[in-house]
């Protein structure tokens, strides 16, 4: 029979993950200025008590904003909803485009999908390509912090310290999990590995032979990932009609002398810098990434 304490711990972690997804009140997408708007796009102020759509807010008049880059129609972006030939299948797998939310059915009001987590102060797509959910994948790659060939124990919590690969974003300068967007038709498992290799190992600058060598080294690690979270992300780019969602998986190397203690990190693609960062409650990370890595520490019984 499984240990009752282990079962109880697993149940509490699962409940914590569900609570993070279903009750999250977004705050980072309610800042004064919308990102990439040159500080000219000002969000309509939404107080905490007026975030939920069910709460009346008759004076709510959000600005409508979609960047010129998105309106230009890049391959990864949807057309404007006003275009007569654009007939999206909301809440469904629409060809290769997944318009389903990890959190269930979202409303479509006057032809526009509505952010399940409430008002953001901006309509349109902002700088996001898809109407509705924009799907990303975040690989949380972890190892134990070691000194003298032993795990480092935090003197206050008496728990071992976990480290994760953290990148500094070029766009905002904030530290984050090295994730990225899921391409249409792409498996999330492929996105997770691709984004880690591109952002934390600079794989795009490698030769085919170098990529093959690195891929072989990471093969076992990325075949043993564990899903940590799937749901809404409190991303500053979110709007009333377009929002970020992500699947986060943990790839952990338990071996104190394993591949992750020998891997050379090198920032690439959208990363300005990359490093191993200790997991701790004082961390300041991009979007909802702090909540995600907290789940990882719970899974491993690590310091937080």
- Sorted by where each starts, the structural domains of the chain and their CATH numbers stand as 4-20+135-300 (3.90.79.10)
Q: State what percent of residues in the chain have pLDDT above 90.
A: 80
Q: What is the pLDDT of residues 115-173, one digit of tens each?
A: 999 999 999 999 999 999 999 999 999 999 999 999 999 999 999 999 999 999 998 89
Query: Residues 9-28: what's their mean pLDDT?
Result: 60
Q: What is the pLDDT of residues 55-70, one digit of tens each?
A: 999 999 999 999 999 9
Residue 15 is predicted with a pLDDT of 45
The predicted model scores a pTM of: 0.88
What's the sign of the alpha-carbon dihedral 62, 67, 72, 76? negative
What's the sign of the alpha-carbon dihedral 243, 116, 137, 85? negative
pLDDT band at 270 (very low <50, low <70, confident <90, very high): confident
Query: Residues 66-81: what's their mean pLDDT?
Result: 95
Contact 122, 240 (CB under 8 A): yes
- Per DSSP, 200 falls in state H
* Residue 239: count of CB within 10 angstroms of its CB: 26
Residue 24 is predicted with a pLDDT of 79
Q: Which residues pair with 97 in a beta bridge?
A: 94
pLDDT band at 262 (very low <50, low <70, confident <90, very high): confident
Query: Residues 273-280: what's their mean pLDDT?
Result: 96
pLDDT band at 84 (very low <50, low <70, confident <90, very high): confident
């Amino acid at each position: 029979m499984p240990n009752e304490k282990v079962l109880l711990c697993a149940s509490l972690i699962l409940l914590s993950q569900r609570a993070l997804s279903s009750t999250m009140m977004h705050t980072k997408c309610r800042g004064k200025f919308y990102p990439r708007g040159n500080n000219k796009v000002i969000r309509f102020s939404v107080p905490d008590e007026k975030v939920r759509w069910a709460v009346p807010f008759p004076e709510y008049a959000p600005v409508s904003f979609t960047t010129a880059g998105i309106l230009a129609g890049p391959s990864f972006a949807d057309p404007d909803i006003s275009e007569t030939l654009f007939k999206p299948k909301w809440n469904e797998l629409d060809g290769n485009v997944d318009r389903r939310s990890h959190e269930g059915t979202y409303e479509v009001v006057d032809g526009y999908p509505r952010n399940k987590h409430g008002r953001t102060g901006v309509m349109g797509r902002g700088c996001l390509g898809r109407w509705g959910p924009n799907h990303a994948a975040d690989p949380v790659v972890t190892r134990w912090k070691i000194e003298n060939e032993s795990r480092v124990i935090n003197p206050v919590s008496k728990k071992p310290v976990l480290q994760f690969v953290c990148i500094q974003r070029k766009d905002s300068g904030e530290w984050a999990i090295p994730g990225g967007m899921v391409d249409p038709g792409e498996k999330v498992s492929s996105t997770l590995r691709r984004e880690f290799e591109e952002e934390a190992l600079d794989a795009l600058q490698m030769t085919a032979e170098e990529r093959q060598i690195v891929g072989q080294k990471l093969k076992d690690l990325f075949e043993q990932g564990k899903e940590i979270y799937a749901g809404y992300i409190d991303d500053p780019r979110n709007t009333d009609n377009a929002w970020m969602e992500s699947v986060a998986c943990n790839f952990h190397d338990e071996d104190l002398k394993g591949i992750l203690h020998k891997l050379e990190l090198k920032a690439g693609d959208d990363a300005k810098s990359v490093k191993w960062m200790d997991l701790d409650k004082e961390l300041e990370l991009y979007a909802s990434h702090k909540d995600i890595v907290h789940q990882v520490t719970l899974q491993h019984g690590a310091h937080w």
